[in-house]
Every structure is written in C-alpha cells, then in structure tokens.
Amino acid sequence: MKRYFLIIILFFSLHFAPAQALENEYANLIINCTQNSEYEQAIRICDKLITYKPESYYGYYLRGLNNYLLEDYDDAITDFDMALKLNPDFTDAYIKRAKAKSKSNNLIGAIADYNRARNDKFYETVTSFAGDVLWSVFSGKRDKKGK
C-alpha cells in the first residue's frame, strides 16, 4: 500500500517538481522495487521515467539491471547499450553489460566491456571478471550424475 501511495505522489508531482528531483524520485522508487525483488514493477517505473525523460541514461541502466535480474539478457544488453550511448563514461553500465554478455555466451563482447571498464575501476572490474570466469567454468558443465 505504501508503494502505491508513493507512485500516486510521484505522478502528481510530475508537473510541479524540478526535472532532476523527479528523476531522483523515480530512481529511488525503482531501486526500492529492485531491492524488494519486484523486478517487473521496477521495469514499469523505468518505462515511465524513460518516457518522461528519454535522455535518462540512469533510467536505461536501471531497466537493464532489472532485465538482467529477470535473466532477460538480450533486453538487458539493449538497455545497457542505450545507457552507454547516452553516457559513454558510465563504467557500471560496461560492467553490467559485460555480465549480461557473459551470461549470453558472448565472451568476446564481455571481455571488450570488461577491458573498457578496467581503465576506470580496475579492482571492481577484475573481481567481477574473475567471478564470471569461475561461473562459466563451473556452470552447466556437469553431467546428470554431477560430474
């Protein structure tokens, strides 16, 4: 109920709040939904944010993140692509896009994104890449007996 009240307030404030404050309200609501594993609701709110402010790279990033969490890697990659088109220096989007590409078995693309992100956030990128390498080595490689 509290969330629906926040959504109603958010829509009424659409015409009265400064653009940046409204974008922050949307982002906070999206993050809250994501933290509560309400990924579809978060995506719907992202859609509203993007409709309201099409140049919101953060809106595309958050929608990509929620698509990623729903294991919809193709849509996640598309959203991360748009976030990076709007803000080519958004390192977190490179890292998340690399993860989505890795899950989609596009390892060359993932390595390229990790390499781009490495220049900005070296340790975070190396840690993320190492986790993806381990995941790809140990996932789906066992037969039915667990070998």
Considering the chain, what is the average pLDDT of its residues? 80
On whether the pTM is more than 0.85, the answer is no
Per-residue confidence band for 135, with pLDDT thresholds at 50, 70 and 90: low
User: Is the confidence at residue 141, as pLDDT, over 60?
Assistant: no
Both tokens of 145, joined, read: 């007996």
Mapped onto helix, strand or coil, the DSSP state of residue 58 is helix
Q: Which of 53-62, 74-83, 110-119 has the lowest mean pLDDT?
A: 110-119
DSSP annotation of 42: H
Task: Produce one character per residue of 17-42: b if its CB has 16 or more CB atoms within 10 Å, e if not.
Answer: eeeeebbebbbebbebbbeeebbebb
Helices 91-103, 122-138: axis angle to 10 degrees equals 10
User: Is the confidence at residue 103, as pLDDT, over 80?
Assistant: yes
Looking at residue 36, its pLDDT comes to 95
pLDDT digits (tens, 9 = 90+) for 58-76: 999 999 999 999 999 999 9
User: Is the confidence at residue 31, as pLDDT, over 50?
Assistant: yes
User: Is the confidence at residue 22, as pLDDT, over 80?
Assistant: no
Looking at residue 97, its pLDDT comes to 96
Looking at residue 114, its pLDDT comes to 84
